[in-house]
Chains A and B, each alone.
Chain A
Amino acid sequence: KAGVTQTPRYLIKTRGQQVTLSCSPISGHRSVSWYQQTPGQGLQFLFEYFSETQRNKGNFPGRFSGRQFSNSRSEMNVSTLELGDSALYLCASSPRDRKNTGELFFGEGSRLTVL
């Protein structure tokens, strides 16, 4: 079974621009979570989508948004980029219902550099 796929793997943007990252979950997984990973802050939870609805949300400003499509693929968008948004953005999928352990399956991430 194919794993979690994130695109693009690497991208460079300048301050003030916006960026859209894409995540295709494992087939059959209905939950997609997004995390920001930086050396100073570690893994910070952005948001989680389940069946096209945002189910959980972290403490990020409104510049960070996401959505999920009917096929469970998810996108996240960051507008008005700042230098501090440079990070590895990780997507994770999960069946995430009450019957399982809540294990997250991670993609390899999208490395965003803001200049």
Chain B
Amino acid sequence: GEDVEQSLFLSVREGDSSVINCTYTDSSSTYLYWYKQEPGAGLQLLTYIFSNMDMKQDQRLTVLLNKKDKHLSLRIADTQTGDSAIYFCAESMRSYDKVIFGPGTSLSVIP
């Protein structure tokens, strides 16, 4: 079956690194995504990783994928107050398949 799990809350101090974790159940998932939702807005893609990759870095964002454990993480370096938002992990088997989202992790950044 398809299911994506995340912890619901994370609180970090400004300037620290944030690590948001996600586990998924569908081993055939090929595309794994991180989306961000700010208050009152829709979701916006932050980054994605293909299942044949272990790591992807994009400026302050680092995505790590452990395919054996079906574990995905998003690290935000030098977290800023503007990073406070809900972060969703999502998976899809193919680029044209439905995208299944986790429950979202609410990140609070303490000044």
Interface string of A78-98 (1 = CB under 8 A from B): 000000000000101000111
Q: How far is it, in angstroms, between the C-alpha of A50 and the C-alpha of B94 when the chains are bound?
A: 15
CB-nearest residue of chain A to B42: A106
A102-B31, A108-B40, A108-B41 known; A96 vs B48 contact (CB < 8 Å): no
One of B41, B48, B96 near A98 (C-beta < 8 A): B96
Contact A107 B42 (CB under 8 A): yes
Contact A96 B102 (CB under 8 A): no
Q: How far is it, in angstroms, between the C-alpha of A56 and the C-alpha of B99 when the chains are bound?
A: 10
Contact A45 B48 (CB under 8 A): no
Contact A104 B43 (CB under 8 A): yes
- The answer to the question of B68 belonging to the interface, with a C-beta cut-off of 8 Å to chain A, is no
Within 8 Å CB of A108, what residues of B? Answer: 40-42
- The answer to the question of A48 belonging to the interface, with a C-beta cut-off of 8 Å to chain B, is yes
- The answer to the question of B45 belonging to the interface, with a C-beta cut-off of 8 Å to chain A, is yes
Q: How far is it, in angstroms, between the C-alpha of A56 and the C-alpha of B96 when the chains are bound?
A: 9
Contact A104 B45 (CB under 8 A): yes
Within 8 Å CB of A104, what residues of B? Answer: 35, 43, 45, 99
Interface string of B18-44 (1 = CB under 8 A from A): 000000000000010101000011111
Q: List 16 A-B contacts (CB under 8 A).
A: A35-B101, A45-B99, A45-B101, A50-B96, A56-B98, A92-B43, A101-B48, A102-B31, A102-B99, A103-B45, A103-B48, A104-B35, A104-B45, A106-B44, A108-B42, A109-B42
